[in-house]
């Protein structure tokens, strides 16, 4: 009987996938297909939750089958991240009018990411205070105890790293290892390698122009092929969103969310507040925030369901370049840096909220100027190198809490609501990277404002 029910659940998924395929054949816009996939995923997940319950064997087996579509799509995106970042950054640099622009571009992108992460930390502090969150309000069960123990063991591997050591981790020593994505900082390492290659080509162009042009032709050919691969993979986004959302809703612990509802509510208030701040910043630079929101919503939807900033990089780059009019090199660097540096949700809001919740249990006033200044500064520094995949926020929290001499066990107490909150955090991380790319392009006078304001310039290539 269980096998029959699992087959029925798979058949429903296939039916929904067929509907999305039909919409694609009728040339329904890409954005509408993504949001249709999101809605169908919520309905399917809710159906599984209500009929079988989140911890049933039927749901576990069904979601395993759904992962072929959902996790398979994320893996395809991860597959293309390293070659896309490498080739596109090299191509962007060799097409720069002035090599000095590279340093300015990087400085603005990283500066905006880190500053907004520090602002996000302040938002997290405010939200925790308004909701009067306290670590003592959360009860610890066996699963939470196990998680807390695991985090304390993990802490031993990261707390000994000084800030200079963390910076050294960015520098590649074996580019072939980093091309496998083995390290949390692999994307940044590939970025650094690609920048070195691009600068080398600029030098060769001055002394041996013929050799440089041969290499440029090869890079441009690879870039064209890889971008075609990106387009093919991104067309599958509605299907991936459907499966990812169905699994997320089906496996969500409703009881745990209700128990920790206050923390969930405070987290989303902070996340939404930071989204609004992003929009205000855009408006201050005379860019229409509503146009921005409309164009990036499909990207944020995927980031929300996949919980992977790194997996969203190809989608992020394409929308920045083709929909927002961001300079190609800037879009590539902003998306790449934003996956591991200055994440507003994971490295900004989340550690700040935990620190404020834990501080009273250690006899510390979390609103004292000294504590706040130290917390925001540490968050700014530690926001470098947070892994752009699910779980990166926990790593960031370990670094911040240990640097503040606070116990790390609280992060383990939130295990039941971690996936739900991580969805919002990832969307904010990705939005922050797109804001940094857009603002940097505008500051350096390379933003195609006409394309930015063109309402028709929305994922044209993907929608074909």
Model confidence band, residue 111 (pLDDT cutoffs 50, 70, 90): very high
Number of domains in the chain: 1
pLDDT reading at 167 higher than 70: no
- Classify residue 443: in a domain, yes or no: yes
> CB 331: neighbour CB atoms within 10 A?
27
Pairwise CA distance, residues 74 & 390, whole Å: 12
In this prediction, residues 355-377 reach a mean pLDDT of: 88
- Classify residue 292: in a domain, yes or no: yes
Lowest mean pLDDT across 20-34, 71-85, 259-273: 71-85
Would the CA dihedral through 282, 287, 291, 296 be positive or negative? Answer: negative
The whole domain housing 235 covers: 2-458
Predicted local distance difference test score (pLDDT) of residue 275: 96
- Classify residue 304: in a domain, yes or no: yes
Contacts of 314 (CB under 8 A, 6+ apart): 77, 80, 81, 84, 230, 233, 234
In this prediction, residues 178-185 reach a mean pLDDT of: 73
**DSSP code per residue over 147-179:** HHHHHHHHHHHHTT--HHHHHHTTS-S-HHHHT
Pairwise CA distance, residues 407 & 223, whole Å: 47
Pick 185 or 229 by higher pLDDT. 229
48-92 pLDDT tens trace: 988 888 788 898 899 999 999 988 888 887 787 788 778 877 877
- Residue whose C-alpha is closest to residue 234's, from 40, 42, 463, 390: 463
391-433 pLDDT tens trace: 566 667 777 877 777 776 666 556 566 777 888 999 999 999 9
Identify which of 219-228, 252-261, 273-282 has the greatest average pLDDT.
Answer: 273-282
Predicted local distance difference test score (pLDDT) of residue 438: 96
pLDDT reading at 280 higher than 90: yes
Contacts of 324 (CB under 8 A, 6+ apart): 292, 295, 296, 434, 437, 438, 447, 451, 452
Predicted local distance difference test score (pLDDT) of residue 409: 63
Pairwise CA distance, residues 273 & 426, whole Å: 15
Would the CA dihedral through 137, 142, 144, 150 be positive or negative? Answer: positive
Contacts of 53 (CB under 8 A, 6+ apart): 59
116-152 pLDDT tens trace: 999 999 999 999 999 988 776 555 444 445 444 554 4
Predicted local distance difference test score (pLDDT) of residue 68: 92
CATH number at residue 140: 1.10.3860.10
**Mean pLDDT of all residues belonging to the chain:** 82
- Classify residue 464: in a domain, yes or no: no
Pairwise CA distance, residues 205 & 423, whole Å: 45
pLDDT reading at 17 higher than 80: yes
- Residue whose C-alpha is closest to residue 349's, from 270, 430, 409: 270
Predicted local distance difference test score (pLDDT) of residue 290: 93
Which tokens belong to 190? 């590939």
Model confidence band, residue 464 (pLDDT cutoffs 50, 70, 90): very low
pLDDT reading at 281 higher than 60: yes
Pairwise CA distance, residues 70 & 237, whole Å: 9
- Classify residue 463: in a domain, yes or no: no
Identify which of 8-17, 168-177, 211-220, 251-260 has the greatest average pLDDT.
Answer: 8-17
Q: Please count the residues of the chain.
A: 464
């Amino acid at each position: 009987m269980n096998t029959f029910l699992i087959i029925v659940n798979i058949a429903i998924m296939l039916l929904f996938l067929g509907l999305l395929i039909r919409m694609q054949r009728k040339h329904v816009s890409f954005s509408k297909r993504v949001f249709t996939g999101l809605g169908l995923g919520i309905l399917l997940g809710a159906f599984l939750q209500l009929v079988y319950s989140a911890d049933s064997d039927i749901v576990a087996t069904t979601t395993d089958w759904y992962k072929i579509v959902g996790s398979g799509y994320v893996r395809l995106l991860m597959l293309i991240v390293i070659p896309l970042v490498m080739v596109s950054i090299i191509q962007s640099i060799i097409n720069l009018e002035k090599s000095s622009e590279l340093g300015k571009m990087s400085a603005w992108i990283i500066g905006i990411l880190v500053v907004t992460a520090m602002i996000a930390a302040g938002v997290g502090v405010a939200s925790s205070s308004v909701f009067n969150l306290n670590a003592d309000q959360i009860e610890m069960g066996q699963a939470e105890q196990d998680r807390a123990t695991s985090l304390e063991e993990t802490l031993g591997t990261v707390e000994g790293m000084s800030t200079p050591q963390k910076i050294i981790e960015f520098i590649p020593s074996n580019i072939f290892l980093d091309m496998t994505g083995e390290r949390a900082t692999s994307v940044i390492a590939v970025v650094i390698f690609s920048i070195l290659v691009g600068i080398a080509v600029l030098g060769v162009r001055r002394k041996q122009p013929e050799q440089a042009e041969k290499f440029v032709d090869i890079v441009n050919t690879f870039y064209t092929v890889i971008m075609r691969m990106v387009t093919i993979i991104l067309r599958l986004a509605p299907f991936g969103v459907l499966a990812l959302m169905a699994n997320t809703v089906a496996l969500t612990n409703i009881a745990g969310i209700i128990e920790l509802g206050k923390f969930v509510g405070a987290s989303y208030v902070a996340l939404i507040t930071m989204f609004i701040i992003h929009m205000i910043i855009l408006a201050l630079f005379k860019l229409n925030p509503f146009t921005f929101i409309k164009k990036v919503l499909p990207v944020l939807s995927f980031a929300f369901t996949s919980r992977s900033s790194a997996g969203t990089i190809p989608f992020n780059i394409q929308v920045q370049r083709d929909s927002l009019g961001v300079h190609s090199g800037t879009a590539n660097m902003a998306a790449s840096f934003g996956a591991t540096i200055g994440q507003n949700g994971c490295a900004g809001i989340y550690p700040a909220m935990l620190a404020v919740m834990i501080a009273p249990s250690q006899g510390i006033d979390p609103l004292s100027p000294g504590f706040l200044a130290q917390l925001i500064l540490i968050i700014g520094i530690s926001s470098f190198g947070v892994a752009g995949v699910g779980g990166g926020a926990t790593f960031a929290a370990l670094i911040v809490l240990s640097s503040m001499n606070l116990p790390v066990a609280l992060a383990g107490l939130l295990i039941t609501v971690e996936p739900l909150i991580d969805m919002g955090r990832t969307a904010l991380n990705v939005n922050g990277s797109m804001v940094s790319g857009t603002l940097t392009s505008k500051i350096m006078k390379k933003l195609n404002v006409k394309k930015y304001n063109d309402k028709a310039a929305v994922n044209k290539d993907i929608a074909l």
